[in-house]
């Protein structure tokens, strides 16, 4: 059973201390997972991983699930979109690539593709540029635009990015992704769907049930503690301004936690 994080963090958020709370949480998780992560490092000495804070900020601080889960996610994305697009010899963008959890594995599952990664956090990008070969990385701002011309990408994926954006940026980024995607190109996105209702407060759930986006601010937009939760009807309406929805799958409870909703869409 997941904790009601809204209730726990609300007082810190209200006082403008959510980032302090999060730093303390990082140290706690780092100490808690130390043995497990040391065992991974000993078993796989050739696997180069980003600094702990970057892993924590963008995923969970567990080296095994960061590395092997990232590999699995890259494979799953390629497989999930296969009915709609063959990703070999294509131009691909990982929007919000973080310190490369997924993009570092992409070349294993696609052939001859031109792969790009962007993120607004320069620390993530510097790490990626130093450690991940055969991928072009560039930094963007939290608000659009990206430095790409119109219609250049065959395929764009954004894993857990809208989940950390403000409401105005949902509209703005959807339009920007549509701008840089080829006509007929495919986009794969995730959102915080109904399974996340269990971590919302009563008041947040009321708004969610009315089909409204729920955001938790008083934090730096784009950071893990800035959170957005999306009723599927809200996210679908946003997508359908620019895209045709090809597939929607609702997030479920998994052995490691709760999964986000998946959306595969095609640019009109």
Give contact residues for ligand SAM (rule: CB under 6 A): 58-59, 96-98, 101-102, 118-121, 124, 140, 142, 159-161, 164, 222, 224
CB-side exposure of 169: number of CA atoms within 13 Å? 18
24 CB contacts (<8 Å, ≥6 apart)? Answer: none
Instruction: Name the residue nearer to ligand SAM (CB basis): 166 or 211.
Output: 166
CB-side exposure of 56: number of CA atoms within 13 Å? 18
Minimum distance from CB of 85 to ligand SAM (Å)? 19
Instruction: Name the residue nearer to ligand SAM (CB basis): 98 or 251.
Output: 98
Minimum distance from CB of 209 to ligand SAM (Å)? 25
Minimum distance from CB of 210 to ligand SAM (Å)? 26
Minimum distance from CB of 64 to ligand SAM (Å)? 15
CA atoms of 110 and 92, how far apart (whole Å): 10
Instruction: Name the residue nearer to ligand SAM (CB basis): 33 or 163.
Output: 163
Helix axes 18-32, 5-14, angle to 10 degrees: 130
* Cα–Cα separations (whole angstroms), residue 207 to 169, 210, 214: 19, 5, 7
Cα three-residue angle 215-163-58, rounded to 5 degrees: 125
CB 18 within 8 A of CB 5: no
Instruction: Name the residue nearer to ligand SAM (CB basis): 77 or 85.
Output: 77
Instruction: Name the residue nearer to ligand SAM (CB basis): 119 or 204.
Output: 119
Instruction: Name the residue nearer to ligand SAM (CB basis): 143 or 205.
Output: 143
Minimum distance from CB of 206 to ligand SAM (Å)? 26
* Cα–Cα separations (whole angstroms), residue 171 to 141, 184, 237, 242: 16, 20, 10, 11
Minimum distance from CB of 186 to ligand SAM (Å)? 17
């Amino acid at each position: 059973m997941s904790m009601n994080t809204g209730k726990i963090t609300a007082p810190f958020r209200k006082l403008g201390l959510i980032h302090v709370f999060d730093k303390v949480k990082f140290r706690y998780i780092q100490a808690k997972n130390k043995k497990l992560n040391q065992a991974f490092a000993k078993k796989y000495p050739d696997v180069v991983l980003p600094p702990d804070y970057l892993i924590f900020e963008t995923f969970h601080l567990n080296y095994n699930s960061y590395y092997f889960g990232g590999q699995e996610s890259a494979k799953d994305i390629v497989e999930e979109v296969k009915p709609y697009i063959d990703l070999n010899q294509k131009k691909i963008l990982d929007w919000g690539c973080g310190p490369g959890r997924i993009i570092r594995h992409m070349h294993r599952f696609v052939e001859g593709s031109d792969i790009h990664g962007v993120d607004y956090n320069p620390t993530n990008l510097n790490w990626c540029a130093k450690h991940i070969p055969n991928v072009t990385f560039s930094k963007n701002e939290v608000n659009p635009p990206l430095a790409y011309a119109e219609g250049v990408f065959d395929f764009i994926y954004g894993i857990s990015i809208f989940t950390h954006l403000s409401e105005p940026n949902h509209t703005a980024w959807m339009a920007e992704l549509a701008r840089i995607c080829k006509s007929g190109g495919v986009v794969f996105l995730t959102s915080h769907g109904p399974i996340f209702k269990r971590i919302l407060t009563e008041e947040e759930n009321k708004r969610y049930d009315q089909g409204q986006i729920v955001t938790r601010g008083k934090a730096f937009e784009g950071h893990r503690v800035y959170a957005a939760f999306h009723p599927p009807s809200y996210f679908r309406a946003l997508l359908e301004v620019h895209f045709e929805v090809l597939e929607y799958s609702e997030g479920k409870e998994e052995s490691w936690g709760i999964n986000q909703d998946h959306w595969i869409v095609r640019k009109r």
